[in-house]
Structure 1
Amino acid sequence: MADEPLLLQAAAQARQHSHSPYSGFAVGAALLDEQGRLHTGANIENAAYPEGLCAEAVALAHLVMAGGRQVRAVAVVADSARPVTPCGGCRQKLREFAAADAVVLSGAVAEGGPVLRGRFTLAGLLPESFGPAHLAAAD
């Protein structure tokens, strides 16, 4: 995917805005929409832990508020030696706006810019998922 470095860099930059005083684990996310626009978010923790917001949820809110309706690709960046992927709740939130074959990139903080740790699809992270089509079939 040609946009991988750009997507990872946007997620890394978003991570700098993380409010994570309780976990100390800053996460940034970037979403590529159907119009080629980037939407970013960072995790925002709360003293009423764990009532915070994940970076992916913040980025999805920005996407929707900008008029986006489809996620083409996702990047998540954190400071971890292992690939960091969206949590279960965010996988379901992404499922609302992304196709099963949407690319999910896991990046890590590194000297000189983020590095790719893993490449997944949404279906690989959330197999046999429940989505909008299930509700349409109920009509």
Structure 2
Amino acid sequence: MQHETYDQAYLRDILKTVKTIALTGASPNPARPSHGVMHFLMQRGYTVFPVNPGQAGKEILGRTVYATLADLPEPVDMVDVFRASEYLDGVVDEALGLPAPPKVIWAQLGVRDDQAAAKAEAAGVKMVMNRCPAIEYPRLVG
């Protein structure tokens, strides 16, 4: 799949079917984009699990922070990646190594690695890059 543009129905379907999200790179700092997006997603009814090894065991927005995707208490539908592009391949590997891989890996604005995307898609995982669900949700879902 090409990742320059996305069909609106593709993104809308993801946003409407996903219920649980692991947010990698979650920050306790309200000034950080990951914090705001986590808050936005929680307000829209998603169950969000923050993932950040430096904050593991603490809480962000009332949710326990986990060190890795493997530490999550349940499978997630989507992994939202707030990490630099150079780390996306590692996040994809970690997600694909889970007993129940996510249905979607969503890389935030500015985050792109076409080889990592190809690997995820070859494993049957949908991939979105260089997009933000907090921007796409109001535009596509309402």
TM exceeds 0.5? Answer: no
State the TM-score bracket (shorter-chain normalisation): 0.3 to 0.5
> Which has a greater percent of helix?
2
TM-score, normalised relative to structure 1: 0.37
What TM-score do you get using the length of structure 2 for normalisation? 0.36
| Larger CA Rg, structure 1 vs 2 | 1
Higher relative contact order (CA 8 A, sep 6+): 2
